[in-house]
Structure 1
Amino acid sequence: MKLFYAPASPFVRKVMVFIKELGLEDKVELVKISTTVIDQNADLAASNPVTKIPTLVMDNGKGLFDSRVITAYLDSLVSSKSLYPAEGEARWDVLCMEALADGLMDAAVNNRYERGMRPADKQWDAWSDGQVKKVHGALTALDGMAASFGDRIDAGIVGAACSCGYLDFRYPDIGWRESYPALGAWYAKFSKRTSMQETQPPS
């Protein structure tokens, strides 16, 4: 398999953490690329028509995207360990938490594009403020759940950790740990896992 990736993406990081937690490092070739909305990578477009990362090219040549599809596929390859509960309420709780974390990352990335790439005279403050509000809404929800996280690891937990890591990376002045102390305390411990240490975005 081949993974198109860029180390700054929180969605890529989620997939990379899955690869490490599931012991699939020797099964996935990493292909580092640069792609943006306005400068799209042709090799990536051949496997993913919307040219977004991460994209996983399976052994049969087909491309898989987005990150939640990739993580579910990777999980299906390992019979001895699963990061998705098989059934029941626990399964839906994990899937919903993964979607919540993805929503946080999506809003944070969208705002990063707005502030970092769009010309200053074309930036829309109200739209940007709305994205930040989504981030805080997700953080409030995760903070309320954090006391129940314990030492468990699943797709929702990995997503939450990668979203926290992205805030550290791109929003170091937001002070999310002070505003969401339960989540911050949990993340301080979880971020020490080898899979998290080895997938940190570039400084």
Structure 2
Amino acid sequence: MIHFLSRITICDAKIRNSPAHHNTEWMGKGSLLSVVRRAVIICLAWLGPISFANGLSTDREQPIYVEADSAEADEAHKTVTYKGTVIVTQGSMRINGETVTLYYDENRTLTKAKVKGRPARFQQRPDGSKEKQHAKANRMEYFANRDLIILLGNAHSWQGKRRISADRIEFDTKKSRVRAHGKRTAKSKDSRTDKSSRVRIVVPIKQK
């Protein structure tokens, strides 16, 4: 049985001089920890699956790999925070951000994830599709119990020629529902001159 270590910071310098560098079992059952040039790569299958969209059905069965400059586990708050050009992959799913924070319950089941970047990026290939689903925003939030993904700030999502952009985009993967919200930045007596970050959608025409 492997337990979280309270306020443990995982980075190149500390791993080289710690027991974890020689014994990776403390990271969890079935985990793999290896030090590369600048990053820590962690196989996090024991932490539970992440599926941020209706991706390949086999994605959930794949281990999760996280690459970052540093990682910090906080037992009190049941979080793991990765910093420094973070890359998360699981099957066809890939997430890029400057900071990724994963939240867990007492059973080590993922409950929430937050991604920050410039921008934060996400991609995954849905079942039955050759084209990957892409998304980017200043921030991304995932709520596992609600199957909800929220893109916040300069949000964009696209698959092939189908595109949607807004200040906020919400994906309800359980109900297959998408909501997009604009952000009004200024008001005017003449609504035609209102400056706002409006929702924009591109729907390609099927070629005959």
TM surpasses 0.5: no
| Greater helix proportion | 1
Structure of higher CA gyration radius: 2
What's the TM-score once normalised by structure 1's chain length? 0.22
Q: Which gives a bigger RCO, structure 1 or 2 (Cα 8 Å, sep 6+)?
A: 1
| Greater strand proportion | 2
What's the TM-score once normalised by structure 2's chain length? 0.22
